[in-house]
């Protein structure tokens, strides 16, 4: 069938990108780790072309740096980078909820909220149990589906990209936390219920508390010399 080779390659490209992103988010590819296209191709038993494309995609998303003549390196984010990410996601999230209050949700929101609630509960459980890798998966899905309520895929994609970068920075530090549970935010349920009630004041309070939680944690890293 015409074009089937391109479809297969693009699918493989996405699968490789997703797999590598998961490795970074799980901390199995820590910041600063370097690798070549050949190494990744051999690891997954595939040709170099989809691997190269996947790595370029991840670099465009800000997760990898291209190292001249050496391949790619997992990006190292600083505490200041993280603070900038928190500010960026704050502006986006504030805009999302302001639009939800002013214009309402996109068509099909009732069904979407069922899924959002499910993600919220799973994320809360993972946070309270200190299950970091499980939390990351549900947290990313929660925010992606919640932002999708405005019906604008560009907004949802942009927020998702920033949230992935936040986790890439946070994971290596969180894995060293002696009391991981206290470092994780678990207000997902309260937030989705406030959105469901269209309670703008409570939504703002919860989002502010969430962002402040992240900034306070970052300040602790600075104080500790991270």
- Give the chain's domains with CATH numbers: 4-74 (1.10.10.10), 79-223 (1.20.120.530)
| Averaged confidence pLDDT in the chain | 89
In whole angstroms, how large is the CA radius of gyration of the chain? 19
**What are 65's strand-pairing partners?**
73
Give yes or no for a contact between 85 and 167, defined as CB atoms under 8 angstroms apart. Answer: no
Give yes or no for a contact between 139 and 125, defined as CB atoms under 8 angstroms apart. Answer: no
Q: What is the pTM of this model?
A: 0.88
Is the model more confident about 9 or about 90?
Answer: 90
**What are 34's strand-pairing partners?**
73
160 Cβ contact list (under 8 Å, min separation 6): 140, 143, 144, 147
Per-residue DSSP letters for 12-72? HHHHHHHHHHHHHHTTSS-TT-EE-HHHHHHHHT--HHHHHHHHHHHHHTTSEEEETTTEE
Backbone angles phi, psi at 131, to 5 degrees: -90, 85
109-148 per-position pLDDT tens digit = 778 888 999 999 999 999 999 999 999 999 999 999 999 8
**CA atoms of 166 and 175, how far apart (whole Å):** 14
Whole-number pLDDT of residue 225: 67
Give the angle subtended at the CA of 160 by the CAs of 88 and 176, to the nearest 5°.
Answer: 80
Percent of the chain with pLDDT over 90: 68
Is the model more confident about 69 or about 170?
Answer: 170
**CA atoms of 47 and 54, how far apart (whole Å):** 12
204 Cβ contact list (under 8 Å, min separation 6): 94, 97
| Predicted confidence band of residue 104 (pLDDT cuts 50, 70, 90) | low
Nearest CA among 175, 156, 152 for reference residue 164: 156
Average pLDDT of 36-43? 94
Whole-number pLDDT of residue 7: 44
Sign (positive or negative) of CA dihedral 84, 89, 91, 92: positive
216-225 per-position pLDDT tens digit = 999 988 877 6
**CA atoms of 132 and 174, how far apart (whole Å):** 8
188-196 vs 109-129: helix crossing angle, rounded to 10:
160
């Amino acid at each position: 069938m015409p074009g089937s080779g391109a479809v297969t390659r693009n699918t493989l490209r996405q699968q490789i990108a997703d797999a590598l992103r998961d490795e970074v988010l799980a901390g199995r590819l820590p910041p600063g780790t370097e690798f070549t296209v050949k190494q990744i191709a051999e690891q997954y038993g595939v040709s170099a072309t989809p691997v190269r494309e996947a790595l370029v995609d991840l670099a465009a998303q800000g997760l990898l740096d291209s190292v001249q003549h050496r391949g790619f390196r997992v990006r190292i984010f600083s505490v200041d980078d993280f603070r900038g990410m928190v500010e960026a996601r704050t502006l986006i999230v504030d805009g999302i909820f302001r639009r939800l209050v002013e214009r309402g949700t996109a068509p099909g929101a009732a069904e979407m909220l069922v899924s959002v609630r499910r993600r919220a509960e799973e994320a809360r459980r993972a946070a309270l149990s200190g299950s970091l890798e499980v939390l990351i998966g549900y947290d990313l899905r929660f925010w992606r589906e919640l932002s999708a309520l405005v019906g604008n895929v560009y907004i949802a994609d942009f927020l998702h990209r920033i949230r992935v970068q936040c986790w890439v920075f946070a994971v290596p530090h969180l894995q060293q936390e002696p009391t991981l549970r206290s470092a994780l935010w678990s207000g997902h349920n309260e937030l989705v219920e406030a959105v469901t009630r269209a309670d703008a004041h409570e939504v703002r309070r919860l989002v502010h508390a969430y962002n402040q939680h992240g900034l306070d944690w970052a300040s602790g890293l600075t104080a500790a010399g991270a």
